[in-house]
Structure formats: structure tokens, C-alpha cells
Structure 1
Amino acid sequence: MQTWSEIVVDVQQNWWLYASMPFVAAIIGYGTKIVAINMMFKPIEFLGIKPYLGWQGIVPRKAAIMAGIACDTMTTKLLRPEDIFNKLDPDRIAKEIEKPLLAAIEDITREVAAHYSPGLWEIAPESVKNKIIHRIQDEAPSIVSNIMNDIKSNLGTVFDLKDMVVTSLLRDKQLLNRIFLEAGSGEFRFIRNSGAFFGFGIGIVQAVTWALTHSPWVMPIFGLFTGWFTDWLALKMVFNPKNPTKYLGGLIQWQGLFLKRRHEVSTEYGRLIAKEVVTPHNIIDSILRGPLSDRLFSMVQKHVQLVVDEQSGIAKPFVVFAVGSGRYQEMKLLVAQEIIQRLPETLKNIEQYAEDAMDLERTLASKMTELSLEEFENLLHPAFQQDEWILITVGATLGFLVGELQVFVMEHLAHHAPTAAAVIHSVS
């Protein structure tokens, strides 16, 4: 322990060393936060030698868990399939896809008829061909309306919202990252900046401790503490306390930043989910290709085959005679299959209408204000909770190494700068 006079002389001779300590500690605090945040999200795929020698971002590595947690909150608290489909008007949808659907029906009818009875179809009068085509086309809007009403009445059998959300997030891990990063942008900015402020304060204590002891352990231990403590404290301050709380006799009031920014987060989260996850395109794709798609196809086939029978009219005996009743049944099935095959392309025409009608961005933002504080916290907190100890440990380790580097630099300067020699001499 140095005397007061020795401390004064030491500080005067090595003022640059003492002045640098808070700034170095601030750099440690800031730098370890950047490393920790990057480790949460990068790299997207495992980099290194599996299974242990390497790293993959925590969020993409645990994408299934993250997607499941996000989905549970979304599908149980924020959205129900009924909220999506009840806003869609079947007649309006039929109108939106009328032109491409009519063109598809004409092509399909001609292809199928030519396939099953090429000679007879070719010599049939054009008026008969057009009559068959037009009668089916006339019923096309009602087919669409009936199918839409059928879907709305049997929504649970043709559309799985949870499967659609999880599938979308697992398919695109970059999107999963963006949801956490953009919804929590204010929190991640706070974590980075707080590392510098907290580190600077710790650096001042480090300088005082060094002046008193000149122990070579001061640098690495304070570096370790800075990396660990600033990580730990920043993560705590993001989510705690849940309600505004006063400290230091009311001089400071603090509420977990994520909860304090509830309105901003709700708006951003609603925008991201509506624009990137629960989109008309993804909904249509899920219905047509999801786990319940077979039931939808059966529904479409039922309506299409019924209309083929009803609208064949006077031409039906001619068609049955030409191709045989068994082949006629096959033909009806093929018509339905061809229409189903063209549905994805045809239904693109309703995406803008569906987006406007569902208005999911506003719906989600509004529903999020109804969540309890605990439920709201679960939108982002899982990204931090998963392997949180690894991030804090890395921060502490990096801080320790930087502290060791400080000692190395000081020893190096001791051989080149007389002013530093006195400092290092007292250490040894």
C-alpha cells in the first residue's frame, strides 16, 4: 500500500495511465456487449468442427424452441384463425380472381376434353365446346364463394396457424433473427451503450485501486468484473423491474426498458409479423401445401365435380357416350386436380385485397396492449434466457484478457519509459 505522498507523485508522473483506465474499461464494457449480441444471432449456421469446436448463434441454433415460444404467444394470445378469415368476403375474393380463374377453366376444359376424346372433341361444333366452357365459367364465382364459405365453416380442418408460423420461422432463420433484433432494437442499443457507461464507472474504481495497491491482478480482475457485471446488469435492466420503481430516495426511477417501450415494440412487432410471417401468401401456401391440405383438395374436388355434372347439361350424355362413364369420372377428377394445381398462381391476385382486409398489423399491435407484463416480456426474453450464462462468461473472459493485455503493455513501457519504470518496479 502506497502512502498519500507516493500516490500523488505516481499519479503526476503517470497521469496518462490513470486517465486511460476508465476509457479502457468503457471499451471493454462496450466491446463485450457487441460480442455478446453477435453471439446471440451469428453465425446462422454452425461454424467450426461439430459438435463442440465452433459456434452457431443462440437464436438460430435453438430456432425450433424460439419459434415455438414466439408462436405459442402469438397463436394463443394475439391471433386466432377466425380473426384472419372472418374479415374476408368470399364474393369479393371470387371477383378478385375472376379473370385468371375463367381463363384457367377454359384452358383446363379444352385440355381435359382433348385428352379423353381427342377425335370427338376436335370434330365437335365450336358452339358445343363453348357452351360447355361457358356454363362452367358461369359457375366459377359461385365455386369460389362456396369453397371459401366451406373453409370458414371448417377452418380447423384445413388451416393450422401454429404450423404455418413455426414452418415460416424455421425455414428462414434470418427472419427469426430479424424479429428479435428489430422488435428489441432499443434494448440492444441500450445494452451496447450501457456497457460503455458502466465500464467507465468501474474504470474509475480500477484507477483508485491501482493507485493504492499497484497489484498486477488489478487489471485482469477489474477487466473480468467489467465484462461480467456490465453484461449481467444490462440484461437485468432490460426486463426488470416490471413496474416503474424509484431508487436512491426517489432520485432515479426505472422500469425494465422492454416493458417501458411497450407501445413502440407492439407497433414494430405487429408490422414484422404482418409483413413477414402471417402474410396472405404464407396463409395461402399453408392451406394449399400444409399438413391439412388434403382436406382442402377434397373440398375443392367436391365442388368442382358437382359443377361439372350440373353444367354439362345437354352435353353430358354426349360426353359420357364418347368417353365412357368410368372415364367421365376420371375426367371430373382431372378437372378438379388441374384447377387445384393452378390455384397458387391464381390466388396471387387476392393477396393485396386480403392484406388490406385482414389488417393484421393493427390487430396485432392492438392485441399486444392487452397482454400481461409477463406475457409481453416473453416476446423477447427467451432470446436472452437461452444460454445467457455463456454470453456473460464470454464477456468476463474477454474482460480478463484485455486486463492482462494492459499489464503486458505496462511491462513493455517499463523498458522504454522511465516514468513507467517506477510503477512497474513497485509491482515487482
Structure 2
Amino acid sequence: EVIDRVEPEDFFRRLGPTLGECCAAVLEKLALKHCPQVWSMLPEPVKVELREKILEQSQQMFRPIIGDLKANVNQIFNIKQMAVDALIEDKPLLVKMFQEIGRKEFTFVLHVAAVMGFFLGIVQMLLWANFKAAWSLPVSGLFIGYFTNWLAITMIFRPVQPHIICGGYINFQGVFLKRQQQVAQELSSMICTHVIYARKMLEFVIKTEGFQQVLGIYQTHMENAIDGVVGRAQVVLPVFVGRDAIRGIKDEVVQITLEELPNHSREIEEYMDRTFALNELIGPRLRGLPPEQFEGMLRPVFQEDEWMILTLGGVLGVVVGTLQAFALGS
């Protein structure tokens, strides 16, 4: 769906000048290497004509290239694997993302624990007033600390499905899931800003086996394009370099193109970011996820350390209860 947004007409309209500069640079380097004296003697109008012919052939070449890339995109590029690799390599970014999307939920845990601790503390006080048992304070503290943290975490994700009550005025649903629309947009923006964008996509493809497939597609169509240029300019090119050298020139074109493309990376990346518009694609997808699936965006973070949060609440409850017992002379 992402690559389908690339249309040849829009591609040439936006990247035509960049493509022309790249073709001109490739032609210049080849000419200076194989026939520098002849190239320097050629009139400028002839050079311009050669550049125009190569650019014209390149435009014809890129149409089937784009078609082949679309047809083989699943073998060339795995966007899910790219996102996973990026977050594994940059763990601080992963932590920051979860802190951002879960900031209200983390605050909610603190507030619920405090409020519930207050009300349960009143119950604890009544028990102490009636029984005056020293053990009751640390034991009740253990229960209160553990239970309040458990309740807060549970209220974040449960119930999963919305339950509309009081004539539609109250939506009884997990706090995180209530915020799905807002969180989805925030997460989409963060992903497209820090994880999945043009430069990262290009870097990922270059490191994978899919890059060789991209090169193969380019080389196949490039050779056809060169054959077309030679066929039209056979009075010029074969005389200077010989027909046997054409095979070597084809390989050189690929190499020089790879060397030249980084000089135009800014224009290419801007085109990709603007055309792919990933935020417009990912945001609605996240907002449209069923609550059961959307829960998985944040739930694993709590599940991994949930035991620690609950244990810490219980331990602190015991400590506070013990201090209370000493303070009350028990």
C-alpha cells in the first residue's frame, strides 16, 4: 500500500531535475574515463543532446522499474522487521516512546494508589482502634500496598470493551483503551518521526538481501536503456569506445549511479516522505484496531514489571505499617 502511492508521472515531475543531474553526472564520468579528449572536443550542443537522450531513456526505464518494485516489494522490504530492528538498536528511544504514550497511565497508577490508600487507611485505622493488635498494621499495610497497585494497573486495561452506562454519560472501560484515538495519533507521529521514515527505510534496504534484488531490477532495465541509447547514438558512442566495451560500461553505470545517488539523497528522501505519507496511513490503522489488539501496545510494558510494582507496593505497605506500630507504642 505504501509503494503503490508512487506514480511514475508524479515521480518524474518531482524528481525530474534530480534524475537529470544524476544522469548528466554519470555520463560525464564515463566520458572522461573512456574518451576524455573526444569528450572535451565535443560541442556543448552535442553534450546537451546526449544528456537529453539519456534522460529521456531513463524516464522510460523507470516506469517498468517502479512496476517491478511494486510487484516485489514484499521480498525487498519488510516494514515490520525494520521497526523491530530500529527499536532494538535504540532502546532509549523505545523507553521514551512507552513513557510518552503511557504517561497518563503511569500518573493514573499513582493517583489511584494514593486515593485507595487513603480510604483503606481509614479502614486500617478503625481496625486498629478496635483490636489494637500490633501485627494488624504491617499485615494490613501489605494488603493495602499490594491491592491498590493491582487495582490501578487493572483499571488501565480492564474492561477491554466499552460499557456505556447511565444513559450514555459514562463509558466504563480501561483508561488506556479509552484514549485509543489520542494515543494512536501520538504513537503514529513518533513512529514516523523516529522509526520509519525515508532515510531509515533506505538504510534498512541497503543492509538486507532485498538490496541485491533492487540492483538486479535496476541493472536489467538500465541495460535495456543503454541498448536504446546506443541504438540511437550508434554514430557516436560505439566509434569511441567499441562495442566490446559496452558490457563493461553497463557495469560501470550501475557503480557510478550508486556513487552519485548519495549526492541527491535529500531530494529523494523528501519525495519519499511526502509521497508515502506514512503518518496518514499508520494513524488510522492504529485508531481502527480492535481494543484487544490495541491493548498490546502498552500492556507488555506493565506485564514485564507488574510483579515488581505489586511487590514494591506490598513491601512499602509493610514498612509503613511497622513504623505506624512503633509510633503508636505497639
- TM-score > 0.5, shorter chain as reference: yes
Match of 2:5, SS? coil
What do the CA deviations read for 1:214-237 (whole angstroms, capped 9, x no partner)? 444444334433332222111111
Is residue 122 of structure 2 the alignment partner of residue 204 of structure 1? yes
What do the CA deviations read for 1:394-426 (whole angstroms, capped 9, x no partner)? 332344334445556x3xxxxxxxxxxxx42xx
Amino acid at match of 2:78: D
Quote the Cα distance in structure 2 between the aligned partners of 1:127 and 1:356.
36
| Residue of structure 1 in register with 2:112 after alignment | 194
Is residue 77 of structure 2 the alignment partner of residue 146 of structure 1? no
What do the CA deviations read for 1:245-273 (whole angstroms, capped 9, x no partner)? 599xxxx9732112222222233233333
Q: Of the candidates 220, 225, 244, which is equivalent to residue 307 of structure 1?
A: 225
Match of 1:371, SS? coil
Quote the Cα distance in structure 1 between the aligned partners of 2:94 and 2:234.
54
Is residue 209 of structure 2 the alignment partner of residue 270 of structure 1? no
Quote the Cα distance in structure 2 between the aligned partners of 1:344 and 1:221.
67
Quote the Cα distance in structure 2 between the aligned partners of 1:246 and 1:319.
77
| Residue of structure 1 in register with 2:144 after alignment | 226
Shift of residue 178, structure 1, vs aligned partner: 3.2
Is residue 34 of structure 2 the alignment partner of residue 112 of structure 1? no
Quote the Cα distance in structure 2 between the aligned partners of 1:267 and 1:219.
46
For the pair shown, the structure with the greater C-alpha radius of gyration is 1
Amino acid at match of 2:254: A
Shift of residue 299, structure 1, vs aligned partner: 1.1
What do the CA deviations read for 1:323-381 (whole angstroms, capped 9, x no partner)? 45454322221212222343355353254454444443343333334432312222221
| Contact 1:169-1:176 at 8 Å conserved across structures | yes
Match of 1:97, SS? helix
Identity of aligned residues (%): 31
Match of 2:83, SS? helix
Q: Of the candidates 349, 353, 373, which is equivalent to residue 291 of structure 2?
A: 373
Is residue 313 of structure 2 the alignment partner of residue 395 of structure 1? yes
Quote the Cα distance in structure 1 between the aligned partners of 2:252 and 2:198.
27
| Residue of structure 2 in register with 1:385 after alignment | 303
* Structure 1, gaps ≥5 residues long: 1-82, 411-422
| Contact 1:187-1:258 at 8 Å conserved across structures | yes
Amino acid at match of 1:102: G
Quote the Cα distance in structure 2 between the aligned partners of 1:157 and 1:243.
37
| Residue of structure 1 in register with 2:17 after alignment | 99
Quote the Cα distance in structure 2 between the aligned partners of 1:388 and 1:118.
71
Q: Of the candidates 258, 273, 278, which is equivalent to residue 340 of structure 1?
A: 258
| Contact 2:185-2:287 at 8 Å conserved across structures | no
Matches within 5 A, 1:281-292: 281-292=199-210
RMSD after superposition: 3.0
| Residue of structure 2 in register with 1:256 after alignment | 174
| Residue of structure 2 in register with 1:88 after alignment | 6
Matches within 5 A, 1:43-54: none
Q: TM-score, normalised on structure 2?
A: 0.84
